[in-house]
Structure 1
Amino acid sequence: MNRRVLGMFAVFALCVLCLAGCNTVHGVGTDIQNAADSTQQAIDKVFEGEK
């Protein structure tokens, strides 16, 4: 019984860590996308007068 509880806890902990990792990666991806959008807007403003 004790090994069973320990095994279930280990699986639960692994799931929690995986979900936390997914949220972290998603957040980093969103930050990178926002930075890319801001950079593109800045480039567009610089070259706006040359059109």
Structure 2
Amino acid sequence: MLKKVVFALVAGSIALGATACNTVKGAGKDVESVGNAADKAM
């Protein structure tokens, strides 16, 4: 029983970590596109 709980917690942590990583990448791309647009405007 304890093994299943620990496994579920570890799997959940990995899933959340992967999601957060993708979110940060997306935010970085958004910031980069805003910077590129500002460069083109000038």
Give the alignment's TM-score, normalised by structure 1: 0.81
Listed as ranges, the gaps of 5+ residues in structure 1 are 44-51
Larger Rg: 1
Query: Deviation above 3 Å: which 4+ runs of structure 1?
Result: none
> What is residue 36 of structure 1 aligned with on the other side?
35
Identity of aligned residues (%): 24
Aligned equivalents of 1:4, 1:18: Cα separation in 2: 21
Per the normalisation by structure 2, the TM-score is 0.98
Number of matched pairs = 42
State the partner residue of 2:15.
16
Q: Which amino acid aligns with 2:14?
A: C
